[in-house]
Amino acid sequence: MDSMEIYLDANATTPVLAQAARAAMQAMADDFGNPSSVHSTGLKARAMMDATRERAKALLDTGSGQLLFVSGATEGIQTAVLSALHALRERRDGGDLQAELLLYGATEHKAVPEALRHWNDVLGLGLQVLAIPVDRLGHHDLDWLRREAPRAGLVCTMAANNETGVISDLAGIAAALGSSPCFWMVDGVQALGKLPLKLAGTRIDYAPFSGHKLYAPKGIGLLYVREGAPFTPLMAGGGQEGSRRSGTENMSGIAALGAVLAALHDGQTFRDHATLSVYRQRLADALLDAFPGLVFNVPLDQSLPTTLNFAVPGLSSRLLQDLFDAAECRISGGSACSAAKAQPSFVLQAMGLPDWQAAGAVRLSIGPAVDKAFIDEACARIRACGESLRRNCMSPADNLAVEGEGITRFTLEGACCYLIADAAAKRCVLIDPLPEQVPRLAQLLACQGYPLLAVLSTSGDALHAEARQLLAEELPSLGADCVQDIDALGWPAPATSIDLGAQQLSRVRLGSPGDRPQQALLLSREGQAPHIVFTPLGVEELPAEALAQLPAHALFAPAQDAAQTLAQTLAQRAAPDSATPDLQLEAAQLAEFVAKYPDALLIDVREPYEQFLTNNLELAGLGPRQAVPLSRLLNALPDWLAAPRPLLLYCRSGNRSRQAAQALARLGHTQAWSLSGGLALLPAQAALGAALSDPALMV
């Protein structure tokens, strides 16, 4: 982990403990024997492996049960499920199967239900796979389980949940299983090293564990199998692990796991439950300070002292992740994110949480080896994240005033809304807002404090009129003008242009296709030809007679831009299919680039709330640097196109800068590169809050 990074995603994986890495190195370089060999090198390796197993057995109090080394929890889960289901099939073939159900907790890691379905299918069992419901706190419905247990063949429940940290009532589950002949698997992955687990004396048949969730490397795990529980090897071969798991053992992984277990035993490396609870409370307090209105998705006392799961009204999970990432804090969405849209967390949905909480969930998790200095730094950065939102008018409360200037674009599933503001004249207009965008826009307009002269629609869409009405209601003192004496497109009836101080907005009516009037809105500087035209359609779709009325050399900003063109010219209408150049610069080529293009301009296209937190490009003597968030690119495009010079655009991961570079290329700029992989792939040079001392020139 580099020194800048505050890693708060320990439930996903942890760094490798220094002593574990050393042990792994030793097992690879010096004690590299195959534990099945009978010579001294092999015997030495076997001794290390046996010692690690004994330590793990003692820690988990496995009694007469077996403990196998496997590659990780997913393999352990497969082995357990295969073993149980194979035994169920034998019972069935022997005419002795009453089981009808395979049960798993509704909040179980996906590996469990997927394994149940897979092996049920492969073995041709045809049992019904059912989720055990959970309550609002994520606890299994034990009455339901008590009712269904007699019909169950295998029951799978986790000891602690990976998204929420909710701790299961294993004693209650055991009681609910009663005299059912079912097998029972407990996924112990998130509990290892954080909760006492005494397996002997319980009726748990199988318990998988994973090394990489507790400071060992990826690729090593453990599977507990109760004495007498049925067993079917997943892998057959050389007969390792008593023929239960063939394949030469992962000795470096086992050595590293051994070092972690030794650290657990010595009591020096890991914090105890009480200390971790204090740490978590400090993180929770910092979060509550930073994000007014934040709600924790489970009560803290119900979950592991290393996990926090929360949502903030009005802030998406994705935005919070980007914000924390800019502060060099790694957190994760409590929900699975696809590139296009965040999927709500199925765990939180199963708990019956409201949609906004399930969709906006964020997980922050620490490993038990963290110390006070780490928590101090994490809390400071969390508070800096809150400060960044307040300064950029994005906090749920306590926002500071902002000075609006130029064009800002807001997108919603391909639809584009534009805010044009003038700081000197203190005026603004909105083009094509949608009702869903009103809360964010109203917040921004209130921070800005300029009267809203008009809310215009280019296409006459009823949703734009609805958004106008809502804005006027939300902002009675700023939005009164935008609903008075206007036509169907929101235009102030008698005016020929709207005066925005240094710029004017005029319009060209485009007729009324489908009985809906349309207009193009032309933005120009005093005494100059219009440079930007806001249109209801892209240049390819605009009818020729409409285009004939519009300035040929302007940039066109379309109301619909699913393809992320950002802006268009008439030349693109002439050659719509021409291939877009894709200039990507690898991080390793940076020095070469600087030498070749000393006059290159560096453009940070991240949003201001990210730029406030880190100023990463203090590297390689690069500069000068401009901050032009992707949402404000339209302001800079005319100058960049009029006087082309080499541009290197960058963002966090390279996606937004690539979009911007491609937009520039489509517009005819031949020297706009995107930094491939973004800041994430550069050596960390950031200093928290550096942007405060070196504010980039905002466009």
Residues of the shown chain interacting with ligand PLP in the complex, contacts defined by CB under 6 A: 72-74, 109, 111, 158, 162, 187, 189-190, 210, 221
Question: E-assigned strands of 236-293?
Answer: none
φ, ψ (nearest 5 deg) of residue 569:
-125, 165
Q: How far is the CB of 190 from ligand PLP (least distance, A)?
A: 5
- Note whether 185 and 77 are within 8 A (CB): yes
- Indicate the SS3 state at residue 73: helix
Hunting for tokens 């809310």 — which residue is that? 455
Other beta carbons less than 10 A from residue 412's beta carbon = 12
Question: E-assigned strands of 41-165?
Answer: 66-70, 101-105, 128-132, 152-158
User: For the CA atoms of 699, 445, 502, 492, what is the dihedral angle to 10 degrees?
Assistant: 140
Q: Between residues 158 and 225, which has the closer beta carbon with respect to ligand PLP? A: 158
- Note whether 664 and 691 are within 8 A (CB): no
- Note whether 659 and 651 are within 8 A (CB): no
Q: Between residues 264 and 587, which has the closer beta carbon with respect to ligand PLP? A: 264
Specify the length of the chain in residues.
Answer: 699
- Indicate the SS3 state at residue 225: strand
Hunting for tokens 């009978």 — which residue is that? 38
Q: Between residues 74 and 659, which has the closer beta carbon with respect to ligand PLP? A: 74
- Helix, strand, coil percentages (3-state) for the chain, rounded to 5, are 35, 20, 45
Q: How far is the CB of 221 from ligand PLP (least distance, A)?
A: 5
The Cα 424–Cα 443 span in angstroms is 20
- Note whether 222 and 99 are within 8 A (CB): no
- Indicate the SS3 state at residue 329: strand
Residue in the shown chain whose Cβ atom is closest to ligand PLP: 72
Q: How far is the CB of 678 from ligand PLP (least distance, A)?
A: 26
Q: Is 535 left (phi over 0), alpha (psi -120 to 50) or beta?
A: beta
Of residues 242, 194, 221, the one with CA closest to residue 74 = 221
Q: Between residues 252 and 443, which has the closer beta carbon with respect to ligand PLP? A: 252
Q: How far is the CB of 113 from ligand PLP (least distance, A)?
A: 12
Concerning whether 156 is annotated as a catalytic residue, the answer is no
Beta-carbon-side half-sphere exposure of residue 595 (alpha carbons within 13 Å): 4
Q: Which two tokens stand for residue 614?
A: 């880190």
The Cα 608–Cα 307 span in angstroms is 29
The Cα 661–Cα 320 span in angstroms is 25
- Note whether 251 and 52 are within 8 A (CB): no
φ, ψ (nearest 5 deg) of residue 651:
-150, -160
Q: Between residues 307 and 317, which has the closer beta carbon with respect to ligand PLP? A: 307
- Give the chain's count of helices (H) and strands (E): 22, 28
- Note whether 259 and 20 are within 8 A (CB): yes
Catalytic residue among 182, 329, 337, 385: 337
H runs (alpha helix) in 245-399: 251-266, 273-290, 317-326, 346-350, 355-359, 372-391
Q: How far is the CB of 132 from ligand PLP (least distance, A)?
A: 15
Helix orientation angle between 18-29 and 251-266, rounded to the nearest 10 degrees: 140
Handedness of CA 98, 100, 101, 102 (dihedral sign): positive
64-80 burial code (b ≥16 CB/10 A, e <16): ebbbbbbbbbbbbbbbb
Q: How far is the CB of 359 from ligand PLP (least distance, A)?
A: 21
| CA end-to-end span of the chain | 34
Hunting for tokens 């800019």 — which residue is that? 326
What are the residue numbers of the active site?
A: 337
